[in-house]
Amino acid sequence: MATTPTTDATFEQDVLQSDVPVLVDFWATWCGPCRAVAPVLEELSGQYEGKLKIVKLDTDANPQTTGRYGITSIPSMYVFQGGEVVKTIVGALPKPKIVKELEPFIG
């Protein structure tokens, strides 16, 4: 399973109504660190299939959701559980650090 794009229009269905925890990657096409973390998230998406859903939101194309969550720095990764933000990860961290941050949510 690969990461899934989400938009202002589909965010509620893709993220807020999800039965499993969701990692939202707030990114932009021009962001170098965002491109660096993308393959790691693709890998994790397959690794935690069924336990964690990973979606990507292009901040430039989706200003409503970006503003709603106060995103001022990218890459920013928010973990949602039950429709609420339960964890915030800012910056392009290496895979082991991202995994450590996600451990409480993936069992």
**Burial group, residue 42, by CB count within 10 angstroms (0-12, 13-18, 19+):** middle
Give the Cα separation of 8 and 14 in Å (integer). Answer: 10
d(C-alpha 88, C-alpha 80), whole Å = 9
Active-site residue 31, yes or no? Answer: yes
User: Which is the catalytic residue, given 31, 44, 52, 93?
Assistant: 31
Catalytic residue among 22, 34, 52, 77: 34
Q: Which residues are catalytic?
A: 31, 34
